[in-house]
Amino acid sequence: MTLSDRARLLISCPDRPGIVAAVSQCLFDQGANIVHSDQHTTDPEGGVFFMRIEFDLPELDNRGTELERAFEPVASRFRMDWRLAYAARVKPLAIFVSKEDHCLLELLWRWRAGDMAADIAMVVSNHPDLRELVEAYGIPFHHIAVTRERLDQAETAQLQLVDGKVDVIVLARYMRILSPSFISRFPNRIINIHHSFLPAFAGADPYAQAYSRGVKLIGATAHYATDALDAGPIIGQDVERVDHRHNVEDLKRIGRHVERMVLARAVAWHLEDKVLVHGNKTVVFA
């Protein structure tokens, strides 16, 4: 089998007996071979059931619509929210940045090495500083200045660039707040990296907040952007130990490594359809 024959079925529904059997039987009847399966329930009695199945189906490009039609009665019977994702269809993404380059570079390195299944369609920045770096990778760079006085015009220009052209937007230390109307155009498709272990130290200057509090751990949090600042569904987190000898600049230096790793992992999980959103939480089949 080739990658063009592989698909992923993502499911959430009220939990009840028989879901796994029905899904497996339907795929078997269509000639599919399950190669990986993950599932989780919030409560076996009355909870929500989540499932991610990877399978191979010969001539998937020609048979995908037929498979979806065959699955609809199963989905209806179990009241499923579901979608079928094709592994060979690489998701186009846009990266939004400001001046800091560490998160951007991690994504570019992984993309160039073939370790991130994405098409980086563009990089958009509110500063011109990273243009040369980005264009060296052959990726279009767009500078759109953002000020308080022209926020609406800037977001209109950004939307003209990305709307209908990208599947996901990655905020790689993009130090501007997106408006609710912008975020609503990409529900659960804008991934932000916040440089603290949320919910601790949300908002501005989290490393300064952490230093003032005398923490012994600093972290980073990748989450989907929502109207509520730094409060969207969390995709991934990690931490590093620090101590009394570290000042604010030390925390920032140590934190840059955590930010890079956490954001890159979260983006990869999203691209590989491993994240299911449930309310303000996520189920991550990593």
pLDDT digits (tens, 9 = 90+) for 71-122: 999 999 999 999 999 999 999 999 999 999 999 999 999 999 999 999 999 9
Instruction: Yes or no: say if 81 and 52 are a contact pair by the CB < 8 Å rule.
Output: no
* Selected catalytic residue, list 230, 238, 243, 273: 230
Provide the CATH number for the domain around residue 246: 3.40.50.170
CA distances from 261 to 119, 220, 272 (A): 19, 9, 17
Question: By 3-state DSSP, what share of the chain in percent is helix, strand and coil, each rounded to 5?
Answer: 35, 30, 35
Scanning the structure block, which residue is given the tokens 């599919």? Answer: 32
- The total domain count for the chain is 2
Helices 60-77/19-29 angle, 10° precision:
150
Per-residue pLDDT of the chain (286 residues; tens, 9 = 90+): 678 899 999 999 999 999 999 999 999 999 999 999 999 999 988 899 999 999 999 999 889 899 999 999 999 999 999 999 999 999 999 999 999 999 999 999 999 999 999 999 999 999 999 999 999 999 999 999 998 778 889 999 999 999 999 999 999 999 999 999 999 999 999 999 998 888 887 777 888 888 888 989 889 999 999 998 889 999 999 999 999 999 899 888 989 999 999 999 999 999 999 999 999 999 999 9
Instruction: Indicate if 82 and 95 belong to the same structural domain.
Output: no
| Whole-number pLDDT of residue 198 | 80
CATH number at residue 57: 3.30.70.260
Q: Do 128 and 263 fall within a single domain?
A: yes
Query: Based on the domain organization, do 81 and 96 belong to the same domain?
Result: no
Q: At what angle do helices 102-112 and 248-271 cross, to 10 degrees?
A: 40
Range of the domain at 173: 91-284
Per-residue model confidence (pLDDT) at position 73: 97
Same-domain check for residues 39 and 123: no
Task: Give the three-state DSSP class for 83.
Answer: strand
End position of a domain, from candidates 52, 86, 120: 86
From 35, 58, 86, give the residue that closes a domain: 86
Pair (110, 50) in one structural domain: no
Q: What is the pLDDT of residue 1?
A: 65
Q: Please tell me whether residues 114 and 253 are part of one structural domain.
A: yes
CB atoms within 10 A of CB 202: 15
Q: Are residues 217 and 255 in the same domain?
A: yes
Q: Please choose, from the candidates 232, 220, 236, the residue with its C-alpha nearest in 3D space to the C-alpha of residue 279.
A: 232
180 lies in the same domain as 71: no
- Do 170 and 263 belong to one domain? yes
Answer yes or no: 273 catalytic.
Answer: no
Last residue of a domain, one of 47, 63, 86: 86
Q: Does 38 lie in the same domain as 60?
A: yes
44 and 136 fall within a common domain: no
**One domain, residues 69 and 100:** no
